Amino acid sequence: MKRIFLLPLLMVLLFLAAACGGTTVEQAKEKAQDAAATAQDAAAGAAEQAKEAVATAQDAAADAAEEAKEKLGEAQEQAKEAAADAKDKVEEAAADVKEAVEDAVATEEAMDAEMAEEEAAMAPLVEGDYLVGIMRLVSHPALDAEREGAIQALAENGFVDGENLSIDYQNAEGDIATLTTIAQKFVDEDVDLIIAITTPAVQAAYNVTKDLEGPPIVFTAVTDPYLAGVATAPDDHPAWVTGIQGMPPVEDAMAVIQEVLPDVQSIGMIWNTAEKNSEVATSIARDTAAKMGIELVEANIADSSEVQTAAESLAAQGVDAFFVSTDSTVVSGFEALVKVAEENDIPLFANDPASSERGAVAALGLDYFQDGLDAGTIAVTILKGEAAAGDITIERQRAGLLAVNLKSVVSQAVELPDSVVNRAAQVFD
């Protein structure tokens, strides 16, 4: 077919050559044949290249198919392994759930057993019906701990609130005059015993009952019952009054301030002059500060609403630290003092551990729950008739602990030495 096509082309070329007159017919014929041969060779070469290209394409397709087959096999193997792993994990999760359920059941059983043991260890109810009045100046965590400790001691010894015991809780909400009204209420109700929490509370209870010489009074959270006028010595006190003296470790708490701030020059202290306990603590703080070579800058208040203004006044005077002892009025407004401390980067230190949780950088003080337990134990002795109040020596509470607040350390821009943090019994963050 190609030759049929090339012959007319050859004839045309011969004719043109003859017409030109520069080439003979034979020569033109030879050139045409050479051209035809060259064209045939080119066509053959192209065909061979096309054949090679087809073969290459077929090999590539075969290779691609083989690779795809291998990858499919790998994917199938991976899917199989993933399915096996998923199965193992499901089985592990099921085992964990089973173990958690078993642990929960065991914990519940252990708690039930512990509760049963506690109930078994609890003294049987004391026969009779008893009425106890509990009075305090204000509400704050330390005094809450006092109350709870006393109630626990009563319950552990057979006086259970709601069963053979009724407790009349009264809180003066910071109004000292109201304490007298509360004490008179208890007398009118003919309570079997009064538990007075804080110095102003025991003073009011004593003044209301001194002509009657009863009912028995057990005090707690009282810094100095002797200065308060309700006793003259641990073994010399009215026949119906006794309790636990809670003298805060003011000197030790101020030593912590100097340990944290070695260059401290002045300490600001807010207190209510109407609280005899604060008068005692502040007097100790003055003496301690003088021995340490530190200026004690004081601010007096009459109620908790004045705490923030007093703190701002001390901050304006440039004090290096704030210190609060066991003044109930100040402690009841503690958050206002914390606010001023944080706004002015003035570290706040306190004399009762519960104040650290509320924002003091560090607080060294008595264990007020233990204080309440001890007072409650005295109340039990009196209620059971095992001893009269006048025969029970006034003991001083000495159990104490150090608490620190790491969040307050940051907000009040201070650093606590490791020596302080390491010996803290409570760390809040």
- Give percent of the chain with pLDDT exceeding 70: 78
pTM (whole model) above 0.75:
no
Q: Is residue 113 part of a domain?
A: no
Q: Over pLDDT 90: what percentage of the chain? A: 66
Q: Is the Cβ–Cβ distance between 248 and 397 less than 8 Å?
A: no
When comparing pLDDT for 400 and 42, which is higher?
400
Kind of pairing, strands 362-366 and 400-405?
antiparallel
Mean pLDDT, range 41-53, rounded to an integer: 69
Higher-pLDDT residue of 90, 416? 416
| Cα separations in angstroms, 418 against 406, 415, 422, 423 | 12, 9, 6, 8
- The per-residue pLDDT for 47 is 67
- Residue indicated by tokens 């109350």: 147
221/254 same-domain check = no
Domain end call among 216, 245, 274? 245
Determine the structural domain holding residue 300 and report its residue range.
250-366+401-428
Any domain includes 59:
no
Q: What is the mean pLDDT of residues 196-206?
A: 97
Report, as an integer, the average pLDDT of 369-389.
Answer: 97
Mark whether 233 and 278 lie in a shared domain.
no
d(CA 169, CA 201) in angstroms, rounded, equals 13
CATH of the domain at 286: 3.40.50.2300
- Report yes or no on 277 lying in a domain: yes
3-state secondary structure of 327: coil
Lowest pLDDT segment from 108-122, 182-196, 370-384, 402-416: 108-122
What is the reported pLDDT for 93? 56
Assess whether 164 and 240 both reside in one domain: yes
Note whether residue 324 is domain-resident.
yes
Residue 61 resides in a domain: no
Closest Cα to residue 344, out of 316, 367, 306, 372?
Answer: 316
Residues 194, 222: one domain?
yes
pLDDT band of residue 260 (cuts 50, 70, 90) is very high
C-alpha 13: how far from chain center: 107
Which range among 5-19, 387-401, 407-421 has the greatest average pLDDT?
407-421
- Packing angle of the helix pair 2-20, 25-121 (nearest 10 deg): 140
For 263-300, b/e burial (b = at least 16 CB within 10 A) is ebeebbbbbbebbbbbbbbbebbeebbeebebebbebe
Q: What is residue 359's three-state secondary structure?
A: coil
Per-residue confidence band for 32, with pLDDT thresholds at 50, 70 and 90: low
Judge if 276 and 417 occupy the same domain. yes
Kindly state whether residue 226 falls inside one of the protein's structural domains.
yes
CB 370 within 8 A of CB 220: no
Considering the domain architecture, whether residues 285 and 240 belong to the same structural domain is answered as no
In this structure, are 136 and 260 located in the same domain?
no
Q: Domain count for the chain, please give it.
A: 3
Residues 185 and 227 occupy one common structural domain: yes
Once rounded to an integer, what is the mean pLDDT over residues 126-142?
94
- Judged against a pLDDT cut of 80, whether residue 111 lies above it is answered with no
Last residue of a domain, one of 245, 279, 307: 245
- Examine the pLDDT at 20 and tell me if it is beyond 70: no
In a domain, 9, yes or no: yes
**CA atoms 27, 28, 33, 36: torsion sign:** positive
Residue among 128, 204, 132 nearest 172 (CA): 204
* One domain, residues 291 and 414: yes
Separation CA 274–CA 365 (nearest Å): 22
Domain termination residue (choose one: 210, 245, 280): 245
> 311 and 353 share a domain?
yes
Q: Do 275 and 347 have their domain in common? A: yes
Query: Do 212 and 262 have their domain in common?
Result: no
Band the pLDDT of 112: cuts 50, 70, 90.
low
Q: Where would I find the beta strands (DSSP E) of 89-136?
A: 130-136
Instruction: Indicate whether 80 belongs to any domain.
Output: no
Least confident span in 82-96, 260-274, 373-387, 388-402:
82-96
